[in-house]
Structure 1
Amino acid sequence: MSAGTRPAQQPAEAATAQWYIGLMSGTSLDGVDGVLAEISESGCAVARHASAPLAPELRAELLALNTCGDNELHRAALAASALARTYAGVVHELLSQSRLPASTVRAIGAHGQTVRHQPGLHDGTGYTLQLNNPALLAEATGITVVADLRSRDVAAGGQGAPLVPAFHRRAFGQAGQAVAVLNIGGIANLSVLGASGATTGFDCGPGNALMDHWCQRHQGRLYDEDGSWAASGQVLPALLQLLLAEPYLALPPPRSTGRDLFNPAWLQRCLQAAGASQARPQDVQASLAELTARACVQDMQRHGAGARLLIVCGGGALNGHLMRRLQALLPGVRVESSAHHGLPPLQVEAAAFAWLARQCLHGLPGNLPAATGARGPRVLGAIYPA
């Protein structure tokens, strides 16, 4: 399966090709990315991409809902509806760009916003919670919506994440050659596409989430553009050593994580334990960037040793400092943006959820048990008809 971009007006590559929309708002909370893609058994061609920032009050509420607070059910319901309206705006923008009527789109794959991710905990099953109002999204767009794409995998004993390795195989797999794909969103996840066709994947650890938090706190900016602020600082060895000592980073796959672990409170505890509470903010930022890079690299070395190509997607692929650190730490591997392989970094996850929507409607599995640890392949998602 190949991925690429082409004008919406071109004919389908196969008779079975249909239009799908994928929507993604990740743990970085930097906004919503949406793609309009034509998908068939043989290919996934992205025709249009649109994005929208999250309103500051919605972003703050979604971040607050990652931890316990007052009146959570009411606040979560309102936040879910506000997010669905943002999603609808992106859908309408995609339709406007392509001049396609809503009736031509088979379905929308809408991920929702993860606010809790605790698979396997508490009662042996645990849960993963993505805020969304897919019924409202279906009403607002007139298009069938496929949502709740993680919980079936969790019910089957899996982590519910990552769900992108199967799509990575179809988009970036190369016959007879091992390839690794690193998605750096709020959390970083690695897919290993073996030369034999075997595919696995797991969450490495923090991606942009901690760097974004620190940048917002000390710079008043949503993220560190190109990693320039991190590049201006010096890594603090004692702090980095403590950050890398986090037990999660040594766990074997399958494993997944989120803001439940890698959050500001975790960072504050590490700063205090390392005696770095009064360190220069840019030095802490440099250390956080190095944490992300080294956590990803050690997983690449442990589980993707046969790969000589690392394709990077997600917002982290736009961080020049982080990309340079990955390359420096992996001298025998080509580290390249997914833009060089048919899909710009901010389109990959949205395209994956468009593909997952198609899998659901065709009654086909969307998970990879080798990646999530589920008891077997499962059809993922709940369908809200147009």
Structure 2
Amino acid sequence: MAQAQTDAIDPPIPVLDVPGADATRGGLPRREDLTWEQRLIVDSSAVADLGLRTAIASVISATMLPRMAMSALRPSDTRAEHAALEFYADLAAGKDPAASFPAPTRPPRVSTRPANPIAEWTARGRVENLRFASSFEAVNPAVRDRRLGYARNSVVHAQHWRHDDGPHPTLCLIHGFMGSAYLFNGLFFSLPWFYRAGYDIVLYTLPFHGRRAERGSPFSGYGYFADGLAGFAEAMAQAVHDFRSVLDHLEYTGVDRIALTGMSLGGYTSALIAGVDDRVQAVIPNVPVVTPDAAFDDWFPANLLVKLGNRMTHTDQDLMTAASAYHSPLNYRPLVPKDRRLIITGLGDRLAPPEQAERLWQHWDRCAFHWFPGNHVLHVSQPDYLRRMTRFLSEFMFD
């Protein structure tokens, strides 16, 4: 089996190779601890991120507005939303991942077909698209009928880059919000390099993204926020459930070592999965949010819309926070061993501020923690953290 390499990495998308570093025992560095070059990149990338954050927050606001308006105009909808929040808050209070995220009870029946020639050219190898019917049933009985109506979302999609000489250690990637395109993720995360280094690759599609988006959805990921806070909670529950079915499939095909990484919403999901399923050998959340309700406080104009909606529907902020804990990785102890956890964050990130990653680091017993001087999508020192990922994974993913 091929050995993972640790030599120079040339990402398909060229970026500056400005080094970051691991956090110290005290956490992330202070601004005065950075070099002038790092400070320049952090400051300029933070300014750029504010514009992106405002654009994404505006999209989310437009998605949430119809649901909030209906809840404000129809008292029955308000009562149902409050009951749902209390349901998830009660589940979160138990801090029991088995109760919060029940495991699939049957293996998936997976169908495969060759991917398009562009995918095979990108990987320089064999690439298949996977699909199977989701066995997910809404955790909250009150919303099950509505969730069953999402036909396209009930089919799980993933792309699998496989070597011809049998199953290899597999690196799974979960994309960010609205960023489900396989080609983009393959190039952004330099997955062809990992493939050549000996890994099989799985790109997992989150609920309501890509081919899982319902017909008429204005953008990939629309369904995550279209049904309010209860809908977001169920989307997170389904994301965990369906990925566990992917794990079932990989195990069935003989894969015995699986590492998981993800960016942004994918980082949030991967960190949550690390507290739910112990079959993941290593986890690397990249620029994750871990408390979305707190992160939203700075997301203009979504923050104003949420506050307005709460006033109109008499929703208590404490109840929202308690319900949001249901799908937060901070609510569950990690099942992945400490020496197999690595968190990556950008000091200039304003969508998922580095303080969010630092909270996860503290919850995860101050595990390996790497920072880079960039923002949420401009990972200007990506070659540096790709080398860090490679060193980290090679210790236990290959003999």
TM-score, normalised with respect to structure 2: 0.28
Greater RCO, 1 or 2 (C-alpha within 8 Å, sep 6+):
2
Select the structure that is richer in strand: 1
TM-score (norm 1): 0.29
Judging by fraction of residues, say which structure has more helix: 2
